[in-house]
Structure 1
Amino acid sequence: MSKKAIKALGPDRYFNRELSWLAFNRRVLEEAKNEAQPLLERLRFLSISGSNLDEFFMVRVAGLKGQQLQHIGDFSVDGMTPTQQLEAISEETDRLDVEQQQCWTELHDLLCEAGVSVVTRSALHEHERAFLSERFDAEILPVLTPQAIDSAHPFPFVPNGGFGLIFNLRDERSGERVNELLMIPTTLPRFIALPSEGQERRFIAIESVIREFFDRLFPGFLRVEAGAFRLLRDSDLEVEEEAEDLVLTFRSAIKRRRRGRVIRLELASDTPPALVELICEGVEAQDALIVDTGGLIGIVDLVGIVETDRPDLKFEPFSARFPERIQEYDGDCFAAIRAKDIIVHHPYETFDVVIAFLRQAAADPDVVAIKQTLYRAGKQSEIIEALVAAAEAGKSVTAVVELKARFDEEQNLLWASRLERAGVQVVYGFVDMKTHAKVSMVVRREGGEMATYCHFGTGNYHPVTSRIYTDLSYFTASRSAARDAGKLFNLVTGYVPADNLELLTLSPRGLRKEIIALIDREIENAEAGLPAAIWAKMNSLLDPEVIDRLYLASMAGVSIDLIVRGICTLRPGVEGMSENIRVKSIVGRFLEHSRIFVFANGERLPHRGARVYISSADWMPRNFDRRVEYMMPLENPTVHAQVLDQVMIANLIDNEQSWMLDGDGQYQRLVPGKRRFNLHRYFMNNPSLSGRGAALEGKKVPKLKLMQRGG
């Protein structure tokens, strides 16, 4: 079938992006219901599902709502208008809200049996009430600010994520009625831990504490009616392409985001109509999605209970390994990399190796220059401190700080200031594109010559997420890789065209084109009667051009296995279009984040002749057109084997954490047969091929083989 014939199939060949994302969040919620997970980990998944849904409303729904209000009738790739999408989203999120509340009720009952509970005021013991009384007076009351709502006191501004209580009170002396708003500061914990003994852990919600000591907050008033609410605002940043000063523009945009349009308003089910009307008018929620939670407001806040000290209700502790190969060189990263390329598999192998690489560069008198991209670095970053130390030691240090990393913009501005004060040359990249590639370069003087050591990552330089996201770190002393990395940095810092690249493929210039060329090569091999297959692992698959080419490959007989954790708009398993395409999603203890692309290249997979690539990019229009991304081939035999024979096969044969997508958009959890396999457990217990070192060369690592599909 031709490309023209594929397009003639119409928009039904795609799933809706937003509904696909909601399907992913449902899979996260299902882990909260999964009896195989420890109880507090199930609660963590429930909290994550709440956090995910918040961000979805603040960004995706906000964008659609803006289109609707501006009467923009653009169709999504699956043929829906913004209004149609919002209606479908509302129906699905209503179902998710109900399921989240049901899940919380069930989990709370189970946690109570295990000795972890959220208690009501009536269930407080006397010593607990005394503890709360003292804490209320000393720590809570001083930071609360009641605000009367009347003609002289208009409804105050409520920030994004704001959680508040609202009351209608009667003055005991005059009998007059007054409305009062009480916003709960984010500095106060949502759930307060009560004094505990043994294994028992008891909590009480902050709103229950306030109601318990209501008379101290409002002496001389009687409570007539009361309610609670929480709101979310439009939090996407828009930056004008002609912005003259990117830093000032982003500081201004961050301030505007705090005052964005209200997108979602959650209300406690017992909030009386008069107070609901007062809230809606006060926060200008006339265009917002208004939700009666029917239970707990702010599911995301349950994370405060997850952190309680009950290790018996959590995953068994896991200690990441430091690559043995580097230890064999007495911790000398440069010597180890110079001897052989290394790929490190996070979080099973510690992110500390990346920090050690940069710390060694900072302290090494032979290192003359360091170049580093920074997309998300976290609030406490040893990466930043290593770059500061290098600059203060007199080295040439360049940091490409991406200001457009969503929800990390403010933190990145702070890091940029810290780096500049230390003498680092800070570059902010492009106004209209994000620098999403994760690359480090260290230039070192060795024997009268300059040697360059590079790190290419599939994930962020973030110390917290590196412990829960599965990603790959590739270290190499390849001169070709060094020349290409230098061109990447020159592109971002000086707009110098990255021509004549030897290994890397970059977006926005040629990444989509190269991926399509690789797919076309598999089509040619299939038509020539050669083995033809594609294995690809990513976070999201959305690009219509690439999806259409995958359909053509399927129709040509190419066997395609896709591991797409989140959004997937490709419709698999449709006869005559995609019957040779299988899509699975893995959701478990760790968040699958690495991007790996494998093309059979005329061999039967897995085979050392296959083309294997790592990348910073998902297959999405934004990654191809509006971001600086890289794709890197893995040519070293050991590194190639680790990624193909270990990482990819483990993902394909996992049957304990996997969901299969069908042609109707439904995900079905795989049911393990006799041969159970959990890829996270496997990598926690088995060293990698690339980093295990000579001491473990003779140690037997279980060989992975492709099993019957579906377990």
Structure 2
Amino acid sequence: MPKSKIKSSEVNLKDHQYYFNRDLSWLEFNYRVLYEALDSRTPLLERLKFSAIFCSNLDEFFMVRIAGLKQQQEAGVTKLTPDGRTPSQQLADISARLRPLVSQQDQNFEYNLKSQLVAQGIHLINYVDLNQEQRTHLHEYFEAHIFPVLTPLAVDPSHPFPYISNLSLNLAVVVRDPETDKELFARVKVPSVLPRFIELPKELRQQQRDKTAIWTGVPLEQVIAHNLEFLFPGMIIQECHAFRVTRNADLEVEEDEAYDLLLAIEQELRKRRIGKSAVRLEIHASTPETIKHRLMQDLGLEDMDVYEVEGLLGHRDLFYFMSLPCPELKDPPWNPVTPNWVKEIQQRRSECETEDIPDGMDIFSAIREGDILVHHPYQAFSATVQEFITEAAYDPNVQAIKMTLYRTSGDSPIVKALIAAAENGKQVVALVELKARFDEENNILWARKLEQAGVHVVYGLVGLKTHTKTVLVVRQEDKQIRRYVHIGTGNYNPKTAKLYTDLGLFSCREELGADLTDLFNFLTGYSRQKSYRKLLVAPVSMRKRMIEMIRREAEHCRNGGTGRIVAKMNALVDPEIVEVLYEASRAGVEIDLIIRGMCCLRPGVEGISETIRVISVIGRFLEHSRIFYFHNGGKEEMYIGSADWMTRNLSRRVEAIVPVEDPNIIKELQEILGIMLSDNRQAWDLLPDGTYVQRRPSDEDHQQSTHETLMQMALNSVSTH
């Protein structure tokens, strides 16, 4: 009997050896991000951008995941993860894996990228390498622009160690008092209100053969460090070392006890700004042990929490260089296309002589002709989703707009459209998720604006984050009410819609409209809705239905047929889903998983997951869409929506996944999955040992890049009409 057909009872599929650790898997994802900064095929300034993303990702990882593990460790938690680790073991293993990655990033920038920047006329210079004329300029700049902002803080028996704010860059300064010959310690914060890199004027830039460099500058902290005599007059500057601190920044809101959730989260945000316990200290490798241990002691950190680098601290500031006018050092610009169906509407309107939009010349008429799929950033968010909401806001036939908002920009046209809709007398409901991590403050600001305009703002359910991406528009048409819906995979954020790949479905199918009506009643009222006509809704029915569909594929195989699953998502972490996928693989189901980030499933294990393949696609756009395909004995089913296969998505969040029923849209989604599965430029294969290997074409002429292919397809789709 083939091992893949062994009965499930003969193997313990919960065994730790069959699961990867989620945090170590996340580190492997962030390494794939870092690799874009290492890869010579990536344009130079884009390589700096990826180094900045790697650093920014790590900051959040420490603020949330490491902080959480430390809290578990301090609380004496001994419960094992599905892969069999305690919190202490996880912290040790994370540290061991992360240190070489941090070193690799540091070395790549200092000894590779900086020299390549010089070759392109971009000079990030160390202060010690400046000539006298450049030093004189920076000396004057310091006096005029930097010195007034600085506040040196002494540390002695009468001045306790100052509070070091989260993600702040600081200088640890040792001075000697010539009168007492006593060494004194002080801290100087590098102000975040000033540019991290101080640019020299054109006449003082580096000369490169016969032309002046494009940009020449110095890190701000070095300018401060070489002008400390202004801050400590009469003292002898002994030494100065930069350091950076990361703190626990996760919110802790007891929702059951919070009378006003908005107020409770505002209070927690103030605590975050003040900060909780430190979780990481970044210092230069040259920092003396005495300074290092003093900082560790004052911050309550151990050796495991200290990360030493030889060069620049805080690579997230490298985003700065993307603003340089060097298009040849960046990816070619991409302008999302306007789909043909939108162009046809625009053409009809341009030929219309009235100011009001006649029936048949709006987005609603296009949706009535059949379901429509939109794919961002290949298709313009502004011309599709944003226009749908804007039209609804001003359409006299629209009676109500209901919408979930997880993350959006503060100046979003969508927020403005909702305000306009309320002012136009429409019933407008916005479910704002205040607990969207690191967007809480932004969400509070525009939630208040919505409330002030008369929008009914709801802040979600106790104990659940509302992560679903849905819009419901109720419209009076002749003598009937028709409901229009948009159900998507991404946030209603015009800015991220240009960077994240996401899908959305427009429809006026009655069952979907009824489902969204029930869902909004569940979110805003006291509904105990337990079943939906079409939608898979978490935490109500999604987990159960997903498991049923995976097991259905296995049953087809056991009955002599074939089974096939293709699933694309951001992360696969939920142990129950992993176990059911193992069961399906052992029954012979062919499974392809396209998972950008964390994957706790171990593919390709003999007798367990031989028929499961996992790839990750990393490139110029962040893969964010979720697509689920089930062969179902030839009666294919496809779904898109907001949920990953993570425990938090299936059990602790409100999520919605919609079945795709239009045959043409099903083919379109299958084509997207096929393109990703055949990618040999951006795709990485997950091996059974947990490592990822990037695919490489044998011939550069046969390179297949997911993002390049889909951009070209988008251009072709409109250029032929």
CA–CA distance in structure 1, aligned partners of residues 478 and 150 of structure 2: 66
Cα distance per residue 1:135-180 (max 9 Å; x no partner):
3233211211111112222122111111100211124566554322
SS in 2 for 1:445: strand
Match of 1:283 among 287, 296, 299: 299
User: 1:643 is matched with which residue?
Assistant: 669
Query: What amino acid does structure 2 have at the position aligned with 1:276?
Result: K
State the shift of 1:33 in Å.
Answer: 0.8
User: 1:709 is matched with which residue?
Assistant: none
State the shift of 1:287 in Å.
Answer: 8.6
Query: What amino acid does structure 1 have at the position aligned with 2:539?
Result: P
* Structure 1 residue 94 corresponds to structure 2 residue 90: no
CA–CA distance in structure 1, aligned partners of residues 140 and 367 of structure 2: 58
* Structure 1 residue 612 corresponds to structure 2 residue 628: no
Report matched runs for 1:39-54 at 5 Å: 39-54=44-59
Equivalenced residue count is 688
Report matched runs for 1:274-353 at 5 Å: 274-285=290-301, 289-330=305-346, 332-352=362-382, 353=384
Query: What amino acid does structure 2 have at the position aligned with 1:641?
Result: K
Q: CA RMSD in A?
A: 1.9
CA–CA distance in structure 1, aligned partners of residues 455 and 598 of structure 2: 38
State whether residues 406 and 433 of structure 2, in contact with CA within 8 Å, keep that contact through their aligned partners in structure 1.
yes
User: 2:658 is matched with which residue?
Assistant: 632
State the shift of 1:553 in Å.
Answer: 1.0
State the shift of 1:379 in Å.
Answer: 3.4
In the superposition, relative to structure 1, how do residues 643 and 688 fare at CA in structure 2: closer, same or farther (>3 Å)? Answer: farther
State the shift of 1:444 in Å.
Answer: 1.4
Match of 2:218 among 191, 204, 213: 204
Query: What amino acid does structure 2 have at the position aligned with 1:219?
Result: P
State the shift of 1:679 in Å.
Answer: 1.2
Match of 2:89 among 84, 89, 99: 84
Query: What amino acid does structure 1 have at the position aligned with 2:486?
Result: H
In the superposition, relative to structure 1, how do residues 508 and 9 fare at CA in structure 2: closer, same or farther (>3 Å)? Answer: closer
In the superposition, relative to structure 1, how do residues 393 and 138 fare at CA in structure 2: closer, same or farther (>3 Å)? Answer: farther
In the superposition, relative to structure 1, how do residues 92 and 354 fare at CA in structure 2: closer, same or farther (>3 Å)? Answer: same
Query: What amino acid does structure 1 have at the position aligned with 2:559?
Result: A
User: 2:236 is matched with which residue?
Assistant: 222
CA–CA distance in structure 1, aligned partners of residues 385 and 66 of structure 2: 37
State the shift of 1:295 in Å.
Answer: 2.5
Report matched runs for 1:137-156 at 5 Å: 137-156=143-162
* Structure 1 residue 655 corresponds to structure 2 residue 661: no
User: 1:485 is matched with which residue?
Assistant: 516
State the shift of 1:95 in Å.
Answer: 1.2
CA–CA distance in structure 2, aligned partners of residues 337 and 567 of structure 1: 36
Query: What amino acid does structure 1 have at the position aligned with 2:264?
Result: T
In the superposition, relative to structure 1, how do residues 127 and 323 fare at CA in structure 2: closer, same or farther (>3 Å)? Answer: farther
User: 1:355 is matched with which residue?
Assistant: 386
State the shift of 1:216 in Å.
Answer: 2.7
Report matched runs for 1:347-426 at 5 Å: 347-352=377-382, 353-426=384-457
User: 2:571 is matched with which residue?
Assistant: 540
State the shift of 1:354 in Å.
Answer: 1.5
State whether residues 434 and 628 of structure 1, in contact with CA within 8 Å, keep that contact through their aligned partners in structure 2.
yes
State whether residues 199 and 310 of structure 1, in contact with CA within 8 Å, keep that contact through their aligned partners in structure 2.
no
SS in 1 for 2:572: coil
Using the TM superposition, name which of 247-256 and 192-201 deviates more.
Answer: 192-201
User: 2:34 is matched with which residue?
Assistant: 29
CA–CA distance in structure 2, aligned partners of residues 429 and 287 of structure 1: 41
Cα distance per residue 1:94-132 (max 9 Å; x no partner):
111111111112111111112112101233355544543
CA–CA distance in structure 2, aligned partners of residues 27 and 500 of structure 1: 40
* Structure 1 residue 519 corresponds to structure 2 residue 559: no
* Structure 1 residue 254 corresponds to structure 2 residue 269: yes
State whether residues 436 and 629 of structure 1, in contact with CA within 8 Å, keep that contact through their aligned partners in structure 2.
yes
Match of 2:709 among 663, 679, 682: 682
CA–CA distance in structure 2, aligned partners of residues 64 and 669 of structure 1: 30
Query: What amino acid does structure 2 have at the position aligned with 1:159?
Result: S
Using the TM superposition, name which of 249-258 and 105-114 deviates more.
Answer: 249-258
Query: What amino acid does structure 1 have at the position aligned with 2:479?
Result: G
In the superposition, relative to structure 1, how do residues 71 and 588 fare at CA in structure 2: closer, same or farther (>3 Å)? Answer: same
State whether residues 568 and 626 of structure 2, in contact with CA within 8 Å, keep that contact through their aligned partners in structure 1.
yes
CA–CA distance in structure 2, aligned partners of residues 186 and 538 of structure 1: 36
In the superposition, relative to structure 1, how do residues 394 and 535 fare at CA in structure 2: closer, same or farther (>3 Å)? Answer: same
Query: What amino acid does structure 1 have at the position aligned with 2:335?
Result: S
State whether residues 14 and 82 of structure 2, in contact with CA within 8 Å, keep that contact through their aligned partners in structure 1.
no
Match of 2:624 among 571, 574, 593: 593
State whether residues 467 and 654 of structure 2, in contact with CA within 8 Å, keep that contact through their aligned partners in structure 1.
yes
State whether residues 337 and 715 of structure 2, in contact with CA within 8 Å, keep that contact through their aligned partners in structure 1.
no
State whether residues 19 and 82 of structure 2, in contact with CA within 8 Å, keep that contact through their aligned partners in structure 1.
yes
In the superposition, relative to structure 1, how do residues 25 and 513 fare at CA in structure 2: closer, same or farther (>3 Å)? Answer: same
State whether residues 322 and 349 of structure 1, in contact with CA within 8 Å, keep that contact through their aligned partners in structure 2.
yes
Match of 2:529 among 492, 498, 502: 498
User: 1:708 is matched with which residue?
Assistant: none
Query: What amino acid does structure 2 have at the position aligned with 1:392?
Result: E
Report matched runs for 1:687-706 at 5 Å: 687=714, 692=717, 696=720
Report matched runs for 1:419-434 at 5 Å: 419-434=450-465
In the superposition, relative to structure 1, how do residues 3 and 235 fare at CA in structure 2: closer, same or farther (>3 Å)? Answer: farther
SS in 2 for 1:472: strand
Cα distance per residue 1:411-434 (max 9 Å; x no partner):
111111111111110001112110
Using the TM superposition, name which of 370-379 and 286-295 deviates more.
Answer: 286-295
In the superposition, relative to structure 1, how do residues 508 and 522 fare at CA in structure 2: closer, same or farther (>3 Å)? Answer: same
**Unpaired segments ≥5 residues, structure 1:** 604-608, 698-711
State whether residues 13 and 570 of structure 1, in contact with CA within 8 Å, keep that contact through their aligned partners in structure 2.
yes
State whether residues 262 and 288 of structure 1, in contact with CA within 8 Å, keep that contact through their aligned partners in structure 2.
no
Using the TM superposition, name which of 268-277 and 90-99 deviates more.
Answer: 268-277
TM-score by length of 1: 0.93
Cα distance per residue 1:448-486 (max 9 Å; x no partner):
322221111101112221111110021111111111111
Cα distance per residue 1:604-643 (max 9 Å; x no partner):
xxxxx42110010000111110000011111112222211
Cα distance per residue 1:294-338 (max 9 Å; x no partner):
322112222222332211110011111122211201272222222
CA–CA distance in structure 2, aligned partners of residues 67 and 359 of structure 1: 47
CA–CA distance in structure 2, aligned partners of residues 46 and 183 of structure 1: 24
Report matched runs for 1:107-146 at 5 Å: 107-125=113-131, 128-146=134-152
CA–CA distance in structure 2, aligned partners of residues 413 and 9 of structure 1: 42
Match of 2:647 among 621, 629, 633: 621
Report matched runs for 1:223-242 at 5 Å: 223-242=237-256
In the superposition, relative to structure 1, how do residues 206 and 625 fare at CA in structure 2: closer, same or farther (>3 Å)? Answer: same
In the superposition, relative to structure 1, how do residues 140 and 484 fare at CA in structure 2: closer, same or farther (>3 Å)? Answer: same
State whether residues 263 and 288 of structure 1, in contact with CA within 8 Å, keep that contact through their aligned partners in structure 2.
no
User: 1:666 is matched with which residue?
Assistant: 691
* Structure 1 residue 269 corresponds to structure 2 residue 280: no
SS in 1 for 2:475: strand
Using the TM superposition, name which of 174-183 and 649-658 deviates more.
Answer: 174-183
Match of 1:183 among 161, 183, 189: 189
Identity %: 44
State the shift of 1:587 in Å.
Answer: 0.6
Cα distance per residue 1:646-695 (max 9 Å; x no partner):
21111111111111011111111111134321110011111389xx57x8
Query: What amino acid does structure 2 have at the position aligned with 1:142?
Result: P
User: 1:167 is matched with which residue?
Assistant: 173
In the superposition, relative to structure 1, how do residues 324 and 235 fare at CA in structure 2: closer, same or farther (>3 Å)? Answer: same
* Structure 1 residue 574 corresponds to structure 2 residue 605: yes
Query: What amino acid does structure 2 have at the position aligned with 1:201?
Result: W
**Unpaired segments ≥5 residues, structure 2:** 1-5, 206-211, 350-361
State the shift of 1:499 in Å.
Answer: 4.0
State whether residues 468 and 591 of structure 1, in contact with CA within 8 Å, keep that contact through their aligned partners in structure 2.
yes
SS in 2 for 1:277: helix
CA–CA distance in structure 2, aligned partners of residues 669 and 505 of structure 1: 34
Using the TM superposition, name which of 381-390 and 189-198 deviates more.
Answer: 189-198
In the superposition, relative to structure 1, how do residues 535 and 144 fare at CA in structure 2: closer, same or farther (>3 Å)? Answer: same
State the shift of 1:288 in Å.
Answer: 6.9
